[in-house]
Structure 1
């Protein structure tokens, strides 16, 4: 906070009559007492998130078959040790007012829960699949109903961790586990065997449902849990949308309209992540039109370049007028809808 508001700014506020003499120093002292990590994104935070992703990858999709050969007991011991040490370290950092580092480590601990449950199921003889489907890294690549216990345990562990360390990034492994669960439940919805088109449909509707849930949560909690929920929901929804094939021009135009709606939601909710996904979709559609019109033409690279510049220009315009656009759009909506929307965050 103090890297954006300094003593000179507050002194000018006193001169303008906004603050009374003496209030500027009291306010500045208050701001300096606030944790520097809240409301700002520092370079160190990039290291925190990058390190967390490395550990998640090492204990998840990069886990090799050699780890499967050390035995289920050893696998459970390693996973339990990781979870316990990471949780204790995160709690210690949380007490020392280091919320970002504590939150990302807590999220890593939650992401290792499926590995522990995997080992427990195999040790107890509860593993529902055959030995050909017993490699843990398949959890991230294959859709199987047998993963459901691992996913449910991850969601439960994530919710418990949020009680201990209320940090928004912990929502991400919860959302990913729920997304995997939706894929694994495809067999229940469509029966076996099921195809990629059905999986895409499930992903799309699950993503849409997640977005609606986090719209209801947004602005109604002390921490910004919706930030990562929106990202996970958009990844599922937009990913499913893009994987759906449409041979008709009407279907492609509808795709563009949906992405335009996402850009509109970015203005209403004041969430740039909607603008990013929507702009990518619209740019893809415009690129498709340009290719159809200017195929085998020297103008094609120029047209695509102009589209890219136009998207950048829209981003700059949105950045400068974000608050005003949000207020204008919201003022044109019905009162009942505005009251249902989340309050705008700074």
Structure 2
């Protein structure tokens, strides 16, 4: 089984006398030229994540009224058995050196925890059954203070699961639960009804806070926990930012500028996920401009096509020169900023 190494790992090998000075750079250059994984392995990873998402959907969004009518005791039993057997299966896969599959299943087990807590609350009479928001699938669509216990239990379960199966994908259900918690707690602060404008604002600031947290975590753990943290933070931040009603041209230009900053962060941190969201934002702004200027013109589809080609070209440019671009940008930052930035991952 192969592992990826960072420049800092090889530098420590030089300090320990395992490698001669200069050999670390040559070895790192060689490793970066090698394919990260075979196509079959990448396809297998995609299957693991897709299967995990299917189970999450089945036990969350797609849990229908028929299951809720079987009784709270039966619902708790089913959820508990799911969590138990999926966790045991994940631990077995981990012992068999299948970390990706184990991590995907561990994340599934964590995602089922709110269902078990939901059933416990109903059994103990802690849940207002007459409430129109008492159906479990609305946990994913409605803001309500009654969900807080479910969210707190999910976060705790995720942290415990990371001790058993230390795989980064488990960060995703934790981040989602934190996002939901930020919404539900904000209802107490803003009061009810909790408007869409307030939700966008909370989502934006929560996403920004999440990005700052994982910027600190990035490069300081052996496992790449920041990968999924960045994705969750960007989804919340970019989604809230994009849904803000910028009526003025200045507001729309600032939106574009923020997305350009995200693209710069992708180069600086060598994190393609920033490039994806930033490029989508810039394309959205350019599409708005094109629509305003060429709305009644035969050139409208041509302009949109050129924008799409430009985004693809930007991706190709970054892919070929990401090493030089990252080092060039870092070299022009103050020394204290360079020290604070996370180490680059290959």
Same fold (TM over 0.5): yes
Distance in 1 between the 2:50 and 2:248 partners? 42
Q: Which residue of 1 aligns with 2:111?
A: 111
Q: Is the 8 A contact 2:263 2:278 kept in 1?
A: yes
Give the 3 Å change call, closer, same or farther, for CA 143–41 of structure 1 in structure 2.
farther
Q: Which residue of 2 aligns with 1:204?
A: 204
Q: CA deviation at 1:133?
A: 2.2
The TM-score with structure 1 as length reference comes to: 0.88
Q: CA deviation at 1:327?
A: 0.3
Q: CA deviation at 1:2?
A: 6.6
Give the 3 Å change call, closer, same or farther, for CA 135–37 of structure 1 in structure 2.
farther
1:144-175 CA-partner distances (Å, limit 9, x unpaired): 11000000000000000000000000000000
Mapping for residues 158-197 of structure 1, pairs under 5 Å? 158-197=158-197
SS at match of 2:132: helix
Distance in 2 between the 1:147 and 1:41 partners? 38
Give the 3 Å change call, closer, same or farther, for CA 81–2 of structure 1 in structure 2.
closer
Runs of 5+ unmatched residues, structure 1:
5-18, 21-26
Q: CA deviation at 1:328?
A: 0.3
Q: Which residue of 1 aligns with 2:316?
A: 316
Ranked by relative contact order (alpha carbons within 8 Å, sequence separation 6 or more), the top structure is: 2
Q: CA deviation at 1:46?
A: 1.0
Q: Which residue of 2 aligns with 1:9?
A: none
Mapping for residues 97-136 of structure 1, pairs under 5 Å? 97-128=97-128, 130-136=130-136
The TM-score with structure 2 as length reference comes to: 0.88
Q: Which residue of 2 aligns with 1:42?
A: 42
Mapping for residues 222-237 of structure 1, pairs under 5 Å? 222-237=222-237
SS at match of 1:133: coil
Give the 3 Å change call, closer, same or farther, for CA 338–149 of structure 1 in structure 2.
same
Q: Which residue of 2 aligns with 1:87?
A: 87
Q: Which residue of 2 aligns with 1:14?
A: none
Q: Is the 8 A contact 1:37 1:100 kept in 2?
A: no
Q: CA deviation at 1:37?
A: 7.6
Give the 3 Å change call, closer, same or farther, for CA 216–93 of structure 1 in structure 2.
same
Q: Is the 8 A contact 2:259 2:282 kept in 1?
A: yes
Runs of 4+ in 1 over 4 A off after TM superposition: 1-4
Q: Which residue of 1 aligns with 2:342?
A: 342
Q: CA deviation at 1:338?
A: 1.1
Distance in 1 between the 2:69 and 2:128 partners? 19
Distance in 2 between the 1:162 and 1:178 partners? 16
